[in-house]
């Protein structure tokens, strides 16, 4: 029987190779430490979160999501005959206006953007931005407070006053509340 050692312990390679085939997250070898257990539990929570709060339709989506960079740092926009870079950290939310995606910054500047909301959502870190509904993708730092609304929806009150009501669709309420709490 072949063996493999980690720290000062010994374990069979056969068990280590079998772990992924039975949906294992990690394989701990004797003598494991608290850090080994904590790392395995962290990995488990990452996978659990990934599958619960994303719309992964295939293995290719999963591989793409796992290999993605932490998120787009800026968006190139065109305004007043000039190209400008708008830093993602300065964006309060993305929304659709006259069937065109727009950026609203914390300083209330607005810009047209050359991506669909679906594309933008894929480019941004899930922990920082959430798709409220078909028209709004909001930055966590924009949320001032959240209220219950009719028909089991939520009303998001942003730190920037806007004309529209930011409603979380009924289907996304539990995911939104988890997103708010997952800090």
Tokens of 70: 């932490």
Q: Stretch 33-46: mean pLDDT, rounded?
A: 78
- For the stretch 119-176, pLDDT in tens is 999 999 989 999 999 999 999 999 999 999 998 899 999 999 999 999 998 899 999 9
- For the stretch 108-130, pLDDT in tens is 999 999 999 999 999 999 899 99
Q: Stretch 98-104: mean pLDDT, rounded?
A: 93
**Tokens 């494991």 -> residue:** 32
CA-based angle 72:41:3, to the nearest 5? 110
Mean per-residue pLDDT over the chain, rounded: 81
d(Cα 144, Cα 136) in Å, to the nearest integer?
16
**Tokens 């395995």 -> residue:** 40
Domain boundaries along the sequence of the chain = 3-52, 74-181
Q: What CATH number matches the domain at 74-181, 3.30.460.10, 3.40.50.920, 2.60.120.960, 2.40.50.40?
A: 2.40.50.40
Write down the pLDDT at residue 179: 93
Q: Is the pLDDT of residue 59 over 80?
A: no
d(Cα 54, Cα 141) in Å, to the nearest integer?
21
- For the stretch 7-27, pLDDT in tens is 444 445 556 556 555 566 666
Q: Are 79 and 111 in contact (CB under 8 A)?
A: yes
Number of Cβ atoms within 10 Å of the Cβ of 117? 19
CA-based angle 153:156:159, to the nearest 5? 175
Tokens of 37: 């257990």
Write down the pLDDT at residue 37: 79
């Amino acid at each position: 029987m072949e063996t493999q050692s980690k720290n000062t312990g010994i374990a069979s390679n056969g068990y280590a190779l079998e772990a992924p085939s039975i949906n294992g997250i990690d394989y701990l070898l004797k003598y494991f430490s608290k850090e080994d257990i904590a790392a395995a539990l962290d990995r488990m929570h990452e996978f659990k979160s990934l599958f619960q709060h994303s719309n992964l339709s295939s293995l290719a989506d999963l591989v793409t999501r796992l290999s993605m960079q932490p998120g787009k740092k800026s968006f190139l926009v065109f305004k007043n005959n000039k190209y400008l870079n708008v830093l993602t950290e300065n964006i309060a939310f993305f929304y659709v206006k006259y069937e065109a995606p727009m950026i609203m910054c914390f300083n209330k500047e607005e810009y047209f953007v050359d991506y669909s909301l679906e594309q933008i959502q894929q480019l941004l870190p899930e922990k920082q931005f959430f798709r409220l509904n078909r028209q709004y993708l909001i930055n966590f730092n924009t949320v001032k407070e959240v209220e219950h609304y009719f028909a089991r929806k939520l009303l998001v009150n942003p730190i920037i006053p806007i004309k529209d009501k930011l409603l979380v669709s009924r289907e996304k309420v539990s995911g939104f509340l988890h997103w708010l709490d997952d800090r």
